[in-house]
Structure formats: C-alpha cells, structure tokens
Chain A
Amino acid sequence: MTATETFVTAEYRQAEAHRFTVKGEEFLYLVPSGAVFGLSGLSKEIFDLLGTGAVNRQELVDKLARHGYAPADVETTIDEMEYHDVLTTGDGKPKFPSMPASDFPLQRMVLNVTNQCNLSCGYCYEYSEDKIALTKDKPKYMTDPVAQAAIDTLFLESKGRPSLHVTFFGGESLLNFPLMQSTVAYTDAKAEEEGRKVDYSLTTNATLLTEEIADFLAEHRFGVTVSIDGDRELHDKMRIFHNGRGSYDTIAPRIKMLLARHKTNSIGARVTLSSGVRHVRRIYDHLTQEFGFAGVGFSPATASTDRLYKIGGERMDEVLDQFAELAWEFRDYALRGGRHYFTNALDTIKELHNGISKAYTCGAGLGMLGVGTSGDIGACHRFVDAPVAQMGNVLTGGVDHEARRDFLKDHHIGARSDCHSCWVRPVCAGGCYHESFINHGNTSASLLTQCDRIRGWIDLCLHIYAEIGIENPKFLERFND
C-alpha cells in the first residue's frame, strides 16, 4: 500500500476526551493534554459522525459533502483535529505524559523541624491511630547541622533552577522557631552566593505566634498556612491541647495579630474536615469575615475506613454539595471581576485554565522532598520517618537517587492502571500517596472510592471555568502561568 492509499484509508476515531456544554456551547476537555477546545459546526459534525466507531478519511469527506461541506474544508478540519488529538488513527490505547528525566531538579524542600506538637488533634496523621511515622528513635527537634545539610542538598539537587522554596513543617513548626531563624539566615546567604532566589513558607497551628515571630515572617516574606477548623464550637471539636482544652481562644487573637503585622505574603487557612466538622459554608464565612484570610482551603481528614472521625459516603456528598455552593459563588464573583477566597475552586480552575497534565499526582519525590529531624529524606513531609517512600539522608550521602527513580517509576500515571480509562487523570493522576497508604497499605493504589466524587468536582469546575471564559475571559488572565 502506498503512503497516499494509507492516508486516504486511515480510520479515524474519537480520541479520549470529556465533552460538556456550557451556555449552549460545546467543549471538549482533551485527555491527556488537558487542552479545552470549543466544538462547533464542522468539527462537531466530524466528532459526532465518528461516535464510538471508526470511519475512514474519504468516507468522512464524502458524508460531509452530502451535508454541504466543501471537501477542502473537511480535510483541513480533520488535519487540525488530528493534530490536537481530538481525532486519532491510533489503536485507542491511553496516552500519558512522558517520564521525567532521571536528574529532574528539586525545587522544594520541606523541613519537619520537629516531630513534637503542643496540640492533640484527634485526626492528626502524625500522632493519631493512623500514624505511620516511626519517631521513637528519632531526635525530637531538628538541629542546625541537619537543617543546613538539607539546604545544601536542595541547592545541590536543583541545578538550573533560579528559584527555590523551603517549607517549615512539624509537628508544630514554631516549637523550633530558633532553627527557622538560623536556617533562613544560612539559606539566604547561600542563595546570594549562588545568585538564586529562595521563598519560604510555614504551616502552623498558630498557638505559639508572637509579634516577634510575625515580624520575622513578614520580613522574610513567608507564605503562611494556618490550620484552623472554623469557629470556636467547630474548631475545638478536634483541635485541642493535651489536656483536652480547645485551642480556638488561644489562636484567634494571635491570628488577628499575624494578619495585622504580616502583609508581605499571603496568609491562608487550611481546614481539616472530619465527621463532626462538615460545615463548609459556615466555616468559610467565619474564616473570611472574622479573620480575613487570603484563602480558605478544605480537605477531609486522612483516615482509614473505620476511624470515627472519617467522613463517610453520604456525608461526603453533603460536603461536596457545599463545595459546589461555594464554587458557584466563586463563579459569581469572577463574573463581576471580584475576589473569592475558596482556594479549592481557585486552584482547580487555575489548573484547568493552564491545561495542566500531570504525570504524578503531586510533586512528592519529584520536585519536592521532605526531611525529618534526623536528616532522613522522605518523598514528602507526610512520609518523613515512614516505613515506605524513603530516599536517603541529608547527612549521609544525600538523596538516594535509585530509590527516588524507583519511586517515580512506580507512581507515574502510566503505572497506575486503575486510572487509564479515567478522563480526569490530567488533574488527579491517582490521588495522594499518603491517603492511599493509609487506606490500602500501598502508596500507588488509586483511591477508587473517591473517583466519582473527583470526576464530579472537576466536571463542575470545568463548567464554571468555561462560563467565566465565555462571560469574563479577562478574569482568567491572572492565572496564566
């Protein structure tokens, strides 16, 4: 068969895509590219003609000629659709982003500066029943030599990146504030020496915040995430001191002080939802109106199936209904050009706008690593001192590249076969490794019980994204990467 004959007889089928309609306009969300195309006129007719079967090129041209389309127009549109993977002549097997290079440079190091905490939150993945970190024989606090070796490792393993990021995490990170100060001084000096830029962030329960700390955070432009679960009644259900007393009254004035003194970077709230704390709307209103956080993000507590604080099936649907309410409200604000603080919607819409196509569910083990008090390296802060996902030690040999390569091979979306027929994989990519490990004892198992909800959420966000894109496209320019 000649090349021309092959070309004419090529059989086309629909490529993998999620189709949705907004305000009478049809769209395709393409998988795996994450591109969104509007579908109308001829391209829509071609796509519909293919249905679930395969049609050869000449047949498409002939059929559409009978609908009044010029053959040249059909040919050009087929070529365009094939170029963008809207149509395919392939075997229909799923496609994936490629594996990263084996020396993929680091960008972020998370330092678990202590494994101690002054709170006893019932759902804590570091201390509760689902604890996986083996901290018994580990130092309680990170020391300067360990932190500096971690920073050296970050600089060594991030060749070519002009901009790096250091996150301070715990336990409660502010229990080791002196180390944060010395580490920032060390890192800034090293960054200046190498002509690079380093940003900092911190996650804290806010119980230990002082004016001195707030000024330090402002001076070094820390992005701050405060763990808070809403108003006093809701917050104090889970976020309690060791003696059982709630922490709301301790943190509320400190957060207000922080927000008043620290204006050089954003301060966001991170809400952990649990079986008794599912009041998304109420929490959002409290945190934005009472405190004025720059962003409020919600996440259900990581929990294995039989934990009392786990949010079960129907209750999770109620949570998602409230997510939807806030997401539509986000849409309303966006159409007016206003600012809304629901970061779950904002982050997803930003990803959809940029057409992100993930090979991995997150940066763990890829651009990010976590370091524990002993210098042991985990795939992320959740795997520091865990029995799995270990990748060396910053004091003794640095990153274990072989372990990191194996981790990246095992967790690539191409290796997660449960996800291969799912249209949402460019943004989900299988879900959190830590959640998988807690629920299935396997870091690369997909969280199948959540898949329908995730697809529902992404579909909702696609609708909202497209509506904003039709009605107020200028609003989306702020998300351009």
Chain B
Amino acid sequence: MKSLQPFNLKARKMEERRVAETGDVQALQQPDNKAGRVYYPLGCTIAFNPGWEVDVSGGAAGLCQPVERDLFDCYLGCAWPAQVPDHVSNNPSWTDKCSAAVNDWRNVDVVFP
C-alpha cells in the first residue's frame, strides 16, 4: 500500500489527477502501487522486440527468450485477437503438440479461420 494514502474525497480526486498527469502507461498490466517501481508497459503492440527490453524488476532475467515463448504469452496470457489463434473459443488445441516451445515450436501450425 502507498505510504501517502488519500483518505477523504478531495484527496482521492487529487490523487486521481496526479496519476492522470504523471502516471505511466499501464495497458493490460496490473497496477503496481509500490512507490519507486518503474512501470514497464505491457502489450506486444508497443514492444518492438519479441520479448521485453527489461523485465518487471528492471533486469533481463525474465525476458521472453527464446522468442518462441511469445507463442504462449500471446496465446494463453493475452487476449489480443490478431497475433495468434485464440485459445478461448476457436483453437483450444493449437499448441497441444508443443509442450516445450524451444524444441517443439515447429509443431505449431498455421490455422485458417
């Protein structure tokens, strides 16, 4: 929890304004209220490398490498409809033959709507 916590209605409005003026782009990421943490925007449409420049702790350990991991980030964790087949309704078995993307990525085939 933030150490300076808006309590009455006026304070909440002021904080909303502050966040709107100074806040980072959060996209689909859960808000991180911990003071001092830099916010790394989530969303493949604003990341030019397949995977992140740095991870959420500011390091490189959790990057999406190899790039094949993006298959699952997009397929399972993201609802972006244009990048990969959608896992929820139309192609739930798309990666059934791909238990480890690093080795099995060739088993993931093109699908046609």
| A377 proximal to B (CB < 8 A) | no
Residues of B close to A79: CB separation below 8 A: 22
Interface centre among B9, B22, B37, B38 (most CB of A within 10 A): B9
| B6 proximal to A (CB < 8 A) | yes
Q: Which residues 21-47 of A sit at the B interface, judged by CB distance below 8 A?
A: 27, 30, 33-44
A353 and B9 within 8 A (CB): yes
| B59 proximal to A (CB < 8 A) | no
| A314 proximal to B (CB < 8 A) | no
The DSSP consensus for interface residues of chain A is: helix
User: How far in angstroms is the closest Cβ of chain B from A29?
Assistant: 9
* 26 sample A-B contacts, Cβ–Cβ < 8 Å, listed by A number: A34-B10, A35-B8, A35-B11, A37-B4, A39-B5, A43-B2, A43-B4, A70-B36, A72-B37, A73-B35, A75-B36, A80-B4, A80-B18, A81-B4, A83-B14, A83-B18, A84-B11, A84-B15, A352-B8, A354-B9, A355-B8, A355-B9, A355-B10, A466-B7, A480-B9, A481-B9
| B3 proximal to A (CB < 8 A) | yes
Interface centre among B2, B6, B15 (most CB of A within 10 A): B2
Residues of B close to A70: CB separation below 8 A: 36
A175 to B82, CA, bound (A): 76
Instruction: Other than A39-B5, A73-B34, A73-B36, give 7 A-B pairs with Cβ distance below 8 A.
Output: A38-B7, A40-B1, A44-B3, A72-B36, A354-B9, A355-B10, A466-B7
Partner pick for A74 among B4, B6, B18, B36, CB 8 A cutoff: B36
B14 and A353 within 8 A (CB): no
Which residues of A pack against B, CB within 8 Å?
Answer: 27, 30, 33-44, 70-77, 79-81, 83-84, 86, 352-357, 465-466, 469, 479-481
A39 and B3 within 8 A (CB): yes
Residues of B close to A479: CB separation below 8 A: 9
User: How far in angstroms is the closest Cβ of chain B from A127?
Assistant: 41
Residues of A close to B5: CB separation below 8 A: 37-40
A354 and B8 within 8 A (CB): yes
Residues of B close to A74: CB separation below 8 A: 36
Residues of A close to B7: CB separation below 8 A: 27, 36-38, 466, 469
Residues of B close to A75: CB separation below 8 A: 36
User: How far in angstroms is the closest Cβ of chain B from A61?
Assistant: 11
Residues of B close to A27: CB separation below 8 A: 7
Partner pick for A76 among B13, B14, B36, CB 8 A cutoff: B36
Q: Which residues 16-37 of B sit at the A interface, judged by CB distance below 8 A?
A: 18, 22, 34-37
In the complex where A76-B35, A84-B15, A84-B18 touch, is A39 in contact with B8 (Cβ < 8 A)? no
Closest B-chain residue to A477, C-beta based? B9
A480 to B38, CA, bound (A): 33
A354 to B11, CA, bound (A): 9
Partner pick for B3 among A36, A42, A71, A354, CB 8 A cutoff: A42
Interface string of B27-55 (1 = CB under 8 A from A): 00000001111100000000000000000
Residues of A close to B34: CB separation below 8 A: 73
Interface string of B45-89 (1 = CB under 8 A from A): 000000000000000000000000000000000000000000000
